[in-house]
Amino acid sequence: MTLPGSKNIAGFMAHYDLTGWWLTTFTEAERKFIDSRYQPSGLPAHTLTQGKWSSSKPASQFLNEVSTWFRSRREVSIAERIHRKVADLGLSEAIVKLGYHDGRHFTTYVTDVKSLKKAGKLEDAERLLLKLVRATEEENRVENLGVAPWYYEELAKIYRKQRNYAEEIAILERYARHRHAPGAKPARLMERLTKVKRLIGFEVGSGNS
């Protein structure tokens, strides 16, 4: 069935065959807001619904990037609905290749990890993060662009919360063995590794006194 207004939708929504989802998931006011807000550098306004645009990225990865434009508290509902579609696409259009986990690229799981941590499900978050770390390492072996630090850092935070310093050191040393993606975070993680090793030494020393 053709939805009213669907013939007027072009842009990335049409390219990814997301017109039906777009029209049924958001109100008209929300669609106008999303369409006007999303404007990556180098692209004109309204590329979501206007013009002829295409991308080689999978739909799940593209929508995940769209969701990052909506971070304020009043935009949570929009981001959540976009991410639900990301998860659905991981099942209905599962991709099996290096850098992917359960049909989705590892970069699309940030929201999943944050939700598990917020719910206090640290063991589930740890299991997922370990799979995502493996995914970024597998991709790096081919692309050689560096592993993504966020996933290692989140594991380090979980281990620190659990006072599991040995595992915190292990995940940071695992990160240190790989080529690093650019940015300031690699240096911060190496500094964290140095500090946790000092902390271990301090606690061992305190215990022996």
Instruction: Tell me the average confidence (pLDDT) per consecutive run of 10 residues in the chain, 209 residues long.
Output: 66 96 97 96 94 94 97 96 97 96 97 97 98 97 95 98 96 95 90 92 52
Quote the pLDDT of residue 184. Answer: 86
Q: Are both 126 and 196 inside the same structural domain?
A: yes
User: Can you list the positions of beta strands (E) in 73-175?
Assistant: 100-101, 104-105
Which residues constitute the domain of residue 141?
A: 121-201
With tokens 């109100």, the residue in question is: 27
Supply the pLDDT for residue 8. 85
Number of folded domains that form the chain? 2
Cβ neighbours, 10 Å, residue 49 = 20
Q: Are residues 187 and 127 in the same domain?
A: yes
Q: Is residue 114 part of a domain?
A: no
Question: How high is the pLDDT of residue 203?
Answer: 58
Residue type, 10: A
